[in-house]
Structure 1
Amino acid sequence: MLDPSWFVQTCREQGISLFTGVPDSLLKELCTTLDTTVGRGEHVIAANEGAAVGIAIGHHLRTASPALVYLQNSGFGNLVNPLLSLADPDVYRIPMVVLVGWRGRPGVKDEPQHVKQGRVMADLLDSIQVPWAVLPKDAAEAAQSLKEALACDGPYVLLVEKDTFAKAVRPAAQDRGAQASREEALTALAAAVGPTAAVVSTTGMLSRELFEYRERQGGHGQDFLTVGGMGHASSIALGVALSDPEREVWCFDGDGALLMHLGSLAVIADQAPGRYFHVVFNNGVHDSVGGQPTSIGRVDVVAAAMALGYRQAVSTDDVAEIPDLVSGLRESGGPALLELRVRPGNRPDLGRPTRTPEQNKQAFMAALRGGQG
């Protein structure tokens, strides 16, 4: 296994002067090290993977130095366009190391949403003619792989397998005072929304918590758990709402997902579905992949939603206010946003959905056909 601090130092010694990307569970030890040891401006957690490539390009244009872009392979599609249409040797010839967590690698058990992506990853890289290698777990071999990657005259991908990086030293958790947990807020929200509205929940811990809540309540049919495609839950919910305007549709979203495709809010506002309600659980971190901070602290979420055209937006960190706020949103109509400020973290014994994505889809579609609204 590689010491993440050693890896960061080796990157610097070989000329990398910027680290940017979207955190990943297989890279969380490296991401923790970057977050705690690399200064602001030298490490940028991007809104999405394509934006990270853009940041890397801009850095190279000014410094002539390469950047390291990191991500999970599930987000690889977000960076294909800038990777091929800008950074490629046939266009601007921008050198960069692209470190990709290889979820769903063949032969390694993983969650359903990662299996296809992992299986086609190598063939995908070959098909788009981007050179690549697997990052070795031996330090000397890893240093040599970095050297070879940096000798390339464009992007070079290093795939990272599970358990490549050793444990990093983690900072002490910040005191968030009396803020409720996401699960406490989710439970109060789901109870206030009720069992008949359609719910589209974002990827990560939130959907796992919603699944367990429904297990306790005895029904799952009204929920679509967006197990992949981070940032797209709000658009999926919009598609449902536009196809069934009499139905109440709720999107249960996260702050990192919101930032990843913030422009979708303008589209939602422009389409103006009157029974569309967007709830953002804001804990300030990428909770599902290690707790790295998002940039949401720079955003007034309520003001942003209103500026992008939502009919109304409110915010609270008080779980007791949720029922009244839900009632108020319903009375005024959508599209509307509710920001729930919660503390990071989740129960250590939190399980995973026991239904397959296909079973979840079929149950959700059957519930919608049933005419409940």
Structure 2
Amino acid sequence: MKVEKLVEIIGSDFYTGVPDSQLKAFCNYLMNTYGIDPKHHVIAANEGNCAALAAGYHLATGKIPVVYMQNSGEGNIINPVASLLNDKVYAIPTVFIVGWRGEPGLHDEPQHIYQGEVTIKLLEDMDIKTFAIGKDTTDKEVEKVMADFREVLAKGKDVAFVIRKGAISYDGKVKYANDNTMIREEIIQHIVKASGEDPIISTTGKASRELFETRVANGQSHKYDFLTVGSMGHSSSIALGVAINKPETRIWCVDGDGAVLMHMGSMAVLGANAPKNMVHVVINNGAHETVGGMPTVAAKIDLVAVAKACGYPNAVSVDSFEALDVELEAAKARNELSLIEVKCSIGARDDLGRPTTTALENKVNFMNYLNSLK
């Protein structure tokens, strides 16, 4: 169905969410219609953040908000849905639009398989009435479902449209770009060169795919890398756990701006523990590029100042490869926690592949390598 029709049927004028490739048509519609406008459209740090924003909107207006997200974000909404929105608490009605990655019967990446299996169950367990929209779902069916949903919403309960692959479309196009010149894959190549045989923990999305392909191009083993293909926002905490327990080994974390924003509290924990053997590299293109390119707020904040306020003893920002190489070598030479923010362009090559090893193989190879180190 057309996104415009779905929006018309729902009838809301406030949307907040975290972008998803399955919802790219919906996200592009919002960007073309509203852009980033706090009165109508906010891209939040994480899905729980969205639920709370939606609650504030309802409290101020009495109207019904819409929260959109990939199904991987269901975990982030459980607390606010159960203890804030639920009709046994504040009874704040909300419409959720959820992209169904890993739908049973359809091929998808390993991080989406189990999440796809439990998508509907999790929503139902949270007492969210749910309807799945597929390619063959008609406008009239959605209109009827929304009429039923309105009765549910009137009781202070929440509802959800779960969007199957290819179920919604939008003819409008959006081009996402910034003024930065550094290309992420080349940035990762420089990090790999500087890190040598040190372990690397990389964040979800294209960064991990590019790290994998860099090792292939170099003829190197993948044993050095832990590819955090799911669990967005947690790669730096994984790296901290490794660094604490391998104090004689330098640990690198290749992170992204959207991931850092999603669980920024991890930076405070990192700064408080300040592992001397960890280098945290944040590749910042100000975009959720892996799922379509919609903006994050990271282009507008000072990540270096945030890191220093969290206790990082060293934090710098670079926007050239010359400066990057200098800071990578400086981080290697010092025995202190370091953060390097790298300003990056938006975009990746069209033929970028995906890891050819399984997540379990990645874990086993990485653990075996860690066990061989001091």
2:139 corresponds to: 139
Q: C-alpha displacement at 1:322, in angstroms?
A: 2.1
1:119 corresponds to: 117
Q: C-alpha displacement at 1:127, in angstroms?
A: 3.0
Q: SS state of the match for residue 151, structure 1? A: helix
Query: Is 1:160 equivalent to 2:176 in the alignment?
Result: no
Q: SS state of the match for residue 240, structure 2? A: helix
> Do 1:22 and 1:49's aligned partners in 2 also have CA atoms closer than 8 Å?
yes
RMSD of Structure 2 on Structure 1 (CA) = 1.4
Alignment of 1:1-373 (within 5 A): 2-12=1-11, 16-38=12-34, 40-41=37-38, 42-135=40-133, 137-152=137-152, 153=155, 154-174=157-177, 176=179, 179-194=181-196, 196-217=197-218, 218-371=220-373
For residues 167 and 233 of structure 2, what CA distance do their matches in structure 1 show?
27
Q: C-alpha displacement at 1:4, in angstroms?
A: 1.6
For residues 334 and 78 of structure 1, what CA distance do their matches in structure 2 show?
32
Q: CA deviation digits over 1:101-127, x for unaligned, max 9?
A: 111111111111111111122222333
Larger mean CA deviation between 286-295 and 330-339 belongs to 330-339
Q: CA deviation digits over 1:229-279, x for unaligned, max 9?
A: 000001000000111111111110000001001111010111110011100
Corresponding letter in the other structure for 2:5: W
Q: SS state of the match for residue 187, structure 1? A: helix
> Do 2:29 and 2:170's aligned partners in 1 also have CA atoms closer than 8 Å?
no
For residues 201 and 258 of structure 1, what CA distance do their matches in structure 2 show?
12
Q: Which structure 2 segments of 5+ residues have no match?
A: none
> Do 2:204 and 2:227's aligned partners in 1 also have CA atoms closer than 8 Å?
yes
Corresponding letter in the other structure for 1:5: E
Q: SS state of the match for residue 7, structure 2? A: helix
Q: 1:175 to 1:200 in 2, by over 3 A?
A: closer
For residues 214 and 148 of structure 2, what CA distance do their matches in structure 1 show?
49
For residues 201 and 224 of structure 1, what CA distance do their matches in structure 2 show?
6
Corresponding letter in the other structure for 2:66: L
Q: 1:303 to 1:88 in 2, by over 3 A?
A: same
Q: C-alpha displacement at 1:168, in angstroms?
A: 3.8
Q: 1:168 to 1:22 in 2, by over 3 A?
A: farther
Q: CA deviation digits over 1:130-188, x for unaligned, max 9?
A: 221113532222233233223213111221100011144123444626x0211111111
How high is the TM-score relative to the length of structure 2? 0.94
Q: 1:26 to 1:173 in 2, by over 3 A?
A: closer
Larger mean CA deviation between 288-297 and 147-156 belongs to 147-156
Q: CA deviation digits over 1:42-95, x for unaligned, max 9?
A: 100010000000000010001000101011111110001100111011111111
Larger mean CA deviation between 246-255 and 143-152 belongs to 143-152
For residues 59 and 105 of structure 1, what CA distance do their matches in structure 2 show?
31
For residues 338 and 90 of structure 1, what CA distance do their matches in structure 2 show?
46
> Do 2:240 and 2:270's aligned partners in 1 also have CA atoms closer than 8 Å?
yes
Query: How many equivalent pairs are there?
Result: 366
Corresponding letter in the other structure for 2:174: P
For residues 158 and 3 of structure 1, what CA distance do their matches in structure 2 show?
14
> Do 1:70 and 1:98's aligned partners in 2 also have CA atoms closer than 8 Å?
yes
Q: SS state of the match for residue 47, structure 1? A: coil
For residues 290 and 263 of structure 2, what CA distance do their matches in structure 1 show?
18
For residues 25 and 36 of structure 1, what CA distance do their matches in structure 2 show?
16
For residues 172 and 97 of structure 1, what CA distance do their matches in structure 2 show?
28
How high is the TM-score relative to the length of structure 1? 0.95
Q: 1:151 to 1:333 in 2, by over 3 A?
A: farther
> Do 2:178 and 2:285's aligned partners in 1 also have CA atoms closer than 8 Å?
no
> Do 2:202 and 2:253's aligned partners in 1 also have CA atoms closer than 8 Å?
yes
> Do 1:198 and 1:222's aligned partners in 2 also have CA atoms closer than 8 Å?
yes
Corresponding letter in the other structure for 2:205: G
For residues 158 and 259 of structure 1, what CA distance do their matches in structure 2 show?
26
Q: Which structure 1 segments of 5+ residues have no match?
A: none
For residues 51 and 30 of structure 2, what CA distance do their matches in structure 1 show?
17
